[in-house]
Structure 1
């Protein structure tokens, strides 16, 4: 995508009252952000669900193209890439969610955005030494599983310890920010951010413009991106209410697997985790084996992201079952679910894993076929 196209994308994304879903709807009808910019009142008002208010907002924003140009230059000066959902690099897991942003900013290599296995580790900002210890132990054990990348929010407590442990054990880690990527928040985490940006697999992402400051509404919005990027969310320590529980709730709404580390019933920092388990909103986490069993993941160090049909013995039994069915007949996900008797949310996750490994691909008509 050219710089000119990016400018129009940034312009569209910045219009007041227009979110990710509306941006995608406009693009689906008009094919590009530049065409949206050049559209007339009559063309815009004729698009389903684009009423009078949004039409006028778009038309009134046409004098703000210079702002988008400045934003792109600011991103480039700060070594930040601008990705829309049409870009190949845009995270596949994020693209699957209806409330995904239309556009994100990415800093660093951030190869882990489309890693074969993404695990989010979140928890209280007021985490104890025990919480820090558990987080480090979890990351250490996850480092033994090929292809795992760690997602978190760069906040105080569990988040920053998850990032630091990931770097220590040579794993990719992605920090999802609630502010623009021009600055680091909290500032005291700048050293860790520098290490993440220097790592080939790690980096930062945000849906907020470069100069955006963190405010209360941005944190729950940030949490939905953490949940969307992850295959699994692990909550280590959490009070009765807090951001980690918001992330867990969103992950459940996305049909992601959530695990919670249990704690003492007298410990306020364990109340959130214990309630997640109690009300069946999370699996009890006692070891990495819990995740391997639930997700059908293997410890096989020979697994590859470029598997071919002739290497399918490296797949888990359930992945081989899906592959065999698709080999016989390319099918839609609902048909695969009927034949395998795998629930749709779980099957969607498994098919995504196979897609990331290069085994299957999604074609027009939502039909899965072998790659």
Structure 2
């Protein structure tokens, strides 16, 4: 995108009554951001849904000065700018009608050919939620997905730290400009995140982490990913807003169930009861529902590698499945004396090695 077009796109963002949907309508009609400002007001007023109030301030020159100042900031700090029609713009987000026309990014983000999921939840994460975050990432690690979250307290930072520990890319969606970090306590993670993914935001450098910005930010979290996972949530909370947005985008939503007496499981349980989310008990549920296929190896090759590559736990599971045929995940865990999350993680690793395959209904069989 040329600098002149970027200035025009930035100007559009600053016009008070023009949001992302209207901006896209104007750009589509005129052909480019700069063409919007080159067209006559009376022509623009003929566009369906565009009225005098919408165009108020469109030609205000103060927006040019603001755009130029923001470009200076972008250049100084090495920020990438992705225009909604560019190839580098997140592909899933492109399909969201209200996605921002510009997305600012910093770090080493590489979305090419990657599976992407968003993980959100309460800021008051419990030990149950923490353990689930770690187990989920461990189980998904062989698939090398990108983990998107909000870099906030609780579930967000827990899942992003777990992703980095497993060498996965993680993206923090911010509710403010790239000139600051909120919460400040998470500044210590910034360098690590930028080395293992990065940050994205639609907000300019003069934007603060105001409450309404977090609500806007949630649509980026939901829109960037193929699916959204809610790990823990009270009866009300921002993660439930993100889940609703994901549903409005026709994306899969998953929720981790909890005890009915647990305050921070109420939101997830309600999502499941209201059929707004699939129940998520392990990564295998997500892998199956999203159709994330692992490359299968020929049977002979798998058996040839059996004694070379399987550890004691994997060998025990393989022997059990070989002797007993198709079995449920719960049965495998029970008979092999393993916690559910450990059995699920091990089966996923074994699937990667080509010695087991998942079947509908949470069944597994030896190859």
Report the TM range for the smaller structure's normalisation.
0.7 to 0.9
Structure showing greater Rg? 2
Alpha-carbon distance, 1:115 to partner: 4.6
1:123 lines up with 2:121 in the alignment: yes
Q: Please tell me whether the aligned partners of residues 115 and 148 of structure 1 are also in contact (alpha carbons under 8 angstroms).
A: no
Residue by residue over 1:159-192, the C-alpha shift from the partner in whole angstroms, topping out at 9 and shown as x without a partner, is 0011111110000111111111111111111121
Match of 1:44 in 2: 44
Unpaired runs of 5+ residues, structure 1, are 303-371
Residue 308 of structure 2 is matched in structure 1 by none
* Aligned 8 A contact 2:14 2:63 in 1: no
Who is 2:138 aligned against?
A: 140
Matched, 1:175 2:169: no
Aligned to 2:77: 78
Q: Secondary structure at the match of 1:246?
A: helix
Listed one character per residue, the Cα deviations across residues 322-360 of structure 1 (whole Å, up to 9, x for unaligned) are xxxxxxxxxxxxxxxxxxxxxxxxxxxxxxxxxxxxxxx
2:150 is equivalent to residue 157 of structure 1: no
Contact 1:27/1:33 (<8 A) preserved: yes
Paired positions, count? 297
Q: Partner of 1:31 in structure 2? A: 31
Moved more, 257-266 or 48-57: 48-57
Partner secondary structure for residue 9 of structure 2: helix
Q: Which runs of 5+ in 2 are unaligned?
A: 298-367
User: What secondary structure is seen at the aligned counterpart in 2 of 1:23?
Assistant: helix
Q: How does 1:198-209 map to 2 (within 5 A)?
A: 198-199=195-196, 202-209=197-204
Contact 2:174 2:217 in 1 (8 A): yes
Question: How far has the Cα of 1:255 moved from its partner?
Answer: 1.2
| TM superposition score normalised by structure 1 | 0.77
TM-score (norm 2): 0.78
- Confirm whether residue 252 of structure 1 aligns to residue 251 of structure 2: no
Q: Deviations over 1:238-269 (max 9, x none)?
A: 10000111111111111111111111111101
Q: How does 1:15-26 map to 2 (within 5 A)?
A: 15-26=15-26
Query: Which residue is 1:238 aligned to?
Result: 233
Cα-to-partner distance string for 1:21-51 (whole Å, 9 max, x where unaligned): 1111111111121122222222222222211
Query: CA contact under 8 A between 1:107 and 1:204: conserved in structure 2?
Result: yes
Partners in 2 of 1:56 and 1:266 — Cα distance?
A: 53
